[in-house]
Amino acid sequence: MDRLLSNKLFEGLSDSHFERLESFIKIKKYPKDSALIEEGVHGETLYLLISGKVKVSKTSDNGKELVLAIRSGGDFFGEMSLLEDAPRSARIMAIEDCEAGLIAKKDFTKMMLEEPQVALNILKTVSARLRQTNDQIIESFLEREKAGQKQTERFQALFEFSKAITADCEERTLFKLAPVILKDQLSCDNVKLFLYDKTAEEVSSLDERGTLQQESAIGSVYTNLIQIKKTLQIHDFTSLEHYRNAEPVSFWKNTASVLVAPIIEDRLVKGCIIVKSNIARKWPEDDEAFVAMLSSYVAISLRNISLRKQMLVTEKLSAVGKVSSSILHDFKNLLSVIDNYAKFILKADHLNDVKAYVDKILTSSNLMISMSHEVLFYAQGEVKLNRREWPLLDIFNTVIQLIENRLKANHISLTVNVPPSMNCTFDSDKISRAFYNLLINACDAVPKSKGAVVIDAKAEGKTLTIIISDNGSGISQQVLPRIFDPFVTTKSHGTGLGLAIVKNIVDAHGGKIEAQSHQGGGTRFIMTFPLENKIA
């Protein structure tokens, strides 16, 4: 009984007072894993724990055990059911061999009446437990709020990732963006995304300078990593067979543990996301789940990129087929012209007549060649530039030579206001085609004998502006908004691709183009380029 004197229930009681209470207490032993109290059973006993430990738990709605507290020697429990005359609110089970003093309900009531200090001790203990429970609830709430905020941030990061990939639709963006997101959301030393080409047995990744690198997947650390089919943590990375051959050294050096999430598309491993730590560690389940989710987003993005490329090829082929069909009629007419003038040459009596007929034939054949070039150029899709510094006036002079005969034949005046000292960084061939298309359109639009075309170029602030204007018939307001769309044309012949090609070329140079026109008032094509494309 002396061991019960130190129980919280008897704090502040003298030995003589405690001796009067001894008769109420019965000692009982409980083996490990035995139940002292069952949840929901009506309470008839107060327990004074002398030795050992017990756990206080409840069963959740889904059948899981929730541990509420651990009680050890010197504590008491079971008082709430006695005070409220209600069923037990929790289960109490021995987690060690225990010994306890038991007080029956009637004796418990008598004890509190005879010793107010006992009642006060119960109130103090219950109050302390309520305070502890309150603190636990607040702490749990704050942890849940923090976890909820963390999940919100991660979903937002995934949303921004998806939006960026959708807008850009380039593999390079995957290489750059995925590691940035993971470094921001996880505790780690570095992150790498690599893609695996099974046919070439190569892996691709970005180095520290952002340059795309390819290396063999055979006989390297990637030999093991590309075999992983589900998210995996490797806590002893140095045990991997090919660790010492790991490249690049700057990434793999000092690696102690890694979290690997495979990028799987159509049940095939297309690559991996690798999160590395220079210390041996275990990542939390929510971190592992986030990396796995991001790898799924990468797999979906890779599929979308592939489908988009296929779609662009299909669209281009479809467009080429469409325009090819549309120009067959023009080609047929031009071939008829060539055929007729060739027959006239056979019957001609004078050399001057032959020259005139040959000129007509050359005009028709040149037109057919130009139309063919436009179809081929448009079918190529992406505009790849080979920039060099060129005098802008030299580029225009080269183009003007190509249209010189047309200017003379139709008595069209051409004014060129381009400073001789103005140098620009352009792809000369591409930008020449753009200027050529615009000047040909101007020549076709202006009235014969009274036509005028003007080329202006000037640099203001951070912008280089080039304007090609004419005094032609203008463009209707219905057609003007669609003037740069493929297959839109105001001519009786042609592909309808000329201005679409011009816009592609200007866009590729980082510039912008707009058309200003109204019927009967001529047309101005205004091209603007960033100053970095100009060296004055």
* 295/205: higher pLDDT: 295
Give the pLDDT confidence score for residue 536 in this predicted structure.
38
Q: Are 58 and 90 in contact (CB under 8 A)?
A: yes
CATH number for 265: 3.30.450.40
Report the relative pairing of strands 202-206 and 212-216 from DSSP bridges.
antiparallel
CATH number for 440: 3.30.565.10
**Residue 14 belongs to a domain:** yes
Do 386 and 531 sit in the same domain of this protein? Answer: yes
Give the pLDDT confidence score for residue 534 in this predicted structure.
44
Residue 320's closest CA among 383, 376, 369, 382? 376
Do 427 and 472 sit in the same domain of this protein? Answer: yes
Dump pLDDT digits (tens) for 325-383.
655 655 665 677 777 778 888 877 777 778 888 877 876 676 677 666 656 666 665 66
Q: Which residues contact 38 (CB under 8 A, 6 or more apart)?
A: 88, 91
- Residue 313 clears pLDDT 90, i.e. is over it: no
Tell me the whole-structure pTM to 2 decimals.
Answer: 0.46
User: In angstroms, how far is the first alpha carbon of the chain from the final one?
Assistant: 103
Summary mean pLDDT of the chain: 82
Q: Count how many domains the chain has.
A: 3
Do 109 and 238 sit in the same domain of this protein? Answer: no
Give the pLDDT confidence score for residue 370 in this predicted structure.
60
Dump pLDDT digits (tens) for 41-60.
988 999 999 999 999 998 88
Do 44 and 177 sit in the same domain of this protein? Answer: no
- Residue 218 clears pLDDT 80, i.e. is over it: no
Do 191 and 297 sit in the same domain of this protein? Answer: yes
| Secondary structure of residue 294 in the 3-state scheme | helix
Give the pLDDT confidence score for residue 452 in this predicted structure.
94
**Residue 362 belongs to a domain:** no
**Residue 367 belongs to a domain:** no
**Residue 330 belongs to a domain:** no
**Residue 312 belongs to a domain:** no
**Residue given tokens 């001790």 in the structure block:** 121
Do 134 and 188 sit in the same domain of this protein? Answer: no
Dump pLDDT digits (tens) for 343-357.
888 877 777 778 888
Task: Please give the backbone phi and psi of residue 413, each rounded to the nearest 5 degrees, phi first.
Answer: -85, 140
- Residue 70 clears pLDDT 80, i.e. is over it: yes
Which of 278, 301, 324 is the last residue in one of the domains? 301
Q: Of 8-12, 90-94, 319-323, which range is least confident?
A: 319-323
Give the pLDDT confidence score for residue 103 in this predicted structure.
92
Do 99 and 177 sit in the same domain of this protein? Answer: no
Do 240 and 291 sit in the same domain of this protein? Answer: yes
| CA–CA distance, 292 with 462 (Å, rounded to integer) | 46
For residue 420, the enclosing domain spans: 382-535
**Residue 147 belongs to a domain:** no
Which of 241, 267, 301 is the last residue in one of the domains? 301
Which of 138, 156, 191 is the last residue in one of the domains? 138
Do 67 and 174 sit in the same domain of this protein? Answer: no
CATH number for 102: 2.60.120.10
Do 218 and 111 sit in the same domain of this protein? Answer: no
**Residue 95 belongs to a domain:** yes
Q: Rounded mean pLDDT of 419-427? A: 90
Q: Which residues contact 414 (CB under 8 A, 6 or more apart)?
A: 400, 407, 452, 453, 454, 455
Q: From the centroid of its chain, how far is CA 386?
A: 30
Dump pLDDT digits (tens) for 106-150.
888 888 888 888 888 888 888 888 888 788 778 877 777 777 777
Do 296 and 186 sit in the same domain of this protein? Answer: yes
Burial of 304 (0-12, 13-18, 19+ CB in 10 A): middle
Give the pLDDT confidence score for residue 458 in this predicted structure.
93
Do 393 and 530 sit in the same domain of this protein? Answer: yes
| CA–CA distance, 284 with 154 (Å, rounded to integer) | 15
DSSP 181-203: HHHHHS--SEEEEEEEETTTTEE
**Residue 322 belongs to a domain:** no
